[in-house]
Amino acid sequence: MKQLDINLMHPSEQINVIIGRIYRSGMTTTSGGNISIKDANGDIWITPSGVDKGSLTVKDIILIKKDGSIVGPHKPSSEYPFHKAIYKARPELTAIIHAHPPGLVAFSIARKVPDTNIVPQARDICGEIGFAPYGCPGSEDLGEKIATEFKNKRYKAVIMENHGVVLGGTNMMDVYQRFETLEFCCRTIVNAGRIGNVNVLTDEQIAQYIHHFPKNIAHYMDVEYPSDERALRSDMVKIIRRACDQGLMISTYGTVSVRWHYNDFLITPRDVARWDIQPNDIVQIKNGMAEAGKVPSRSVALHHRIYQLNPHINSIITTQPVNLMAHAVSRKAFDVRTIPESWIFLQDVPSVPFGLIYNEIDKIATMFNHHRAILIENDCVFVTGDKLLNTFDYLEVAEFSANSLVMASSIGPLQPMGDKEIDELRIAFNVK
């Protein structure tokens, strides 16, 4: 995936950016977790021991030279031994993340490996996952046990028994995206299990997803960026970053599009990390063709058809928030009739089987004549609106509501409103 000038950033800068992102996303604690990068000289840059993860600066990052000498104002992470052991076992890896995110820790406590086939893109991003037996934190024993798992070159992620997870990558963004996607899978599986059964995709269904990537998209060369279109690009980037900050989108998945002129629109590109997307990454779609030199999102054809068949829709967000995806993976109905405000904003939200968005584009696009949001089993949620900010608001409402339903499931049976109450809402809020 395209990265935030990763090759132009100093290792200490990369570490500082990513550890801050992990901390703010609630995937590690003030004292927990550590990150390292092995540079071209064989030196290792690593987070310090005992320093607040919420206020780290570039100057806090520690350098351990190839000869073992240490440069920096703090002690290196106490988990340095297993970082060193992994780099020795797998010389092609140049970045490592170790953290204690709740979902992955849950699997480490249960001593299980998550099945990433819950959504089509996760298996390719995460790869096969190893499991290392328990070792005392900071010990050479733990380093040896983890390194033993990493000697299996199929693994770039290893769950640590009763501890957390450690992941390696060819660069810092590679490992971060694997980490973020794997934690998303774990949280989704946990929440899906609270409301129903966890359903996974078959190899054939995942192959179908890959097969339906847009190919041979026509491009046009005469690209202009009028001022109003440039403003829309900036608005899209702000919404995408807000979605990432709020856990409504992760770096490896999420599509935003906005109608620009008649049925022409702007859409996010494929294979650009969502956290780091820039206005010039956004792709113009004109007369069904993409601007030269850019590859639009895999769902571009469906977005195009939705705009063609629904003049009232001016923006679309396609994403995978954890609680909505818990409903999509469990294939449990997302019942917004449980909360008045949710029903007013969203009305009823239907679910459709996996694969329909690839095979029956017109059928799905037509559904948005009557529905503001649609859940795709084991895939995503589509949310639409007349303005981008409104669409984002509907997405927030949907995910908050889904979260409430997941939590309510552990209290007792859901008690939705009846037809009388829904009719009352229709009249009071002029809902058709």
Span 104-141, pLDDT tens digits:
999 999 999 999 999 999 999 999 999 999 999 988 89
In this predicted structure, what is the pLDDT of residue 8?
76
217: pLDDT strictly greater than 90? no
Residues 249 and 184 in one domain: no
- Counted residue by residue, the chain has a size of 432
Which residues have a Cβ under 8 Å from the Cβ of 255 and sit 6 or more positions away? 267, 268, 297, 298, 299, 303, 316, 317, 318, 319
Residues 24 and 129 in one domain: yes
The answer as to whether 99 is a domain residue is yes
The answer as to whether 186 is a domain residue is yes
Q: Which helix (H) or strand (E) holds 97?
A: strand 95-99
Residues 396 and 419 in one domain: yes
Q: What residue type is assigned to position 171 of the chain?
A: N
30-63 burial by CB neighbour count: b if 16+ within 10 A, else e? eebbbbbbbeeeebbbbbbbebebeebeeebbbb
The answer as to whether 1 is a domain residue is no
The answer as to whether 200 is a domain residue is no
pLDDT tens column, 293-333: 899 999 999 999 999 999 999 999 999 999 999 999 999 99
Q: Which helix (H) or strand (E) holds 392?
A: helix 388-408
Residues 188 and 266 in one domain: no
Average pLDDT over residues 143-159: 95
Number of domains within the chain: 2
In this predicted structure, what is the pLDDT of residue 7?
61
Is the Cβ–Cβ distance between 399 and 327 less than 8 Å? no
Q: How many CB atoms lie within 10 A of CB 336?
A: 24
Residues 148 and 246 in one domain: no
Which of 172, 195, 218 lies at the terminal end of a domain, its last residue?
195
Percent of the chain with pLDDT over 90: 86
In this predicted structure, what is the pLDDT of residue 5?
62
In this predicted structure, what is the pLDDT of residue 317?
98
In this predicted structure, what is the pLDDT of residue 223?
81
Residues 224 and 330 in one domain: yes
Residues 290 and 410 in one domain: yes
Residues 112 and 253 in one domain: no
**Hey, what are 165's tokens?**
């997870």
The pLDDT-based confidence of 1 (bands split at 50, 70, 90) is: very low
Residues 372 and 316 in one domain: yes
Give the single-character DSSP code of 398.
H
The answer as to whether 311 is a domain residue is yes
Helix (DSSP H) and strand (DSSP E) numbers for the chain = 15, 17
In this predicted structure, what is the pLDDT of residue 4?
54
6: pLDDT strictly greater than 80? no
99-131 burial by CB neighbour count: b if 16+ within 10 A, else e? bbbebbbebbeeeeebebbbbbbbbebbbebbe
46: pLDDT strictly greater than 50? yes
The pLDDT-based confidence of 3 (bands split at 50, 70, 90) is: very low
247: pLDDT strictly greater than 50? yes
Which of 135, 169, 195 lies at the terminal end of a domain, its last residue?
195
pLDDT tens column, 359-385: 899 999 999 999 999 999 999 999 999
Which of 144, 167, 195 lies at the terminal end of a domain, its last residue?
195
Residues 153 and 179 in one domain: yes
CATH number at residue 235: 3.40.225.10
Residue-number span of the structural domain to which 382 is assigned: 210-428
Which residues have a Cβ under 8 Å from the Cβ of 343 and sit 6 or more positions away? 336, 337, 417, 422, 425
Average pLDDT over residues 345-351: 95
Computed over every residue of the chain, the mean pLDDT equals 93
> Which segments within 119-214 are labelled E, that is strand?
128-132, 155-160, 164-169
Average pLDDT over residues 237-260: 96
Residues 186 and 230 in one domain: no
Residues 187 and 215 in one domain: no
In this predicted structure, what is the pLDDT of residue 218?
83
DSSP three-state, residue 48: strand
| 346/329 Cα distance (integer angstroms) | 20
Is the Cβ–Cβ distance between 312 and 331 less than 8 Å? no
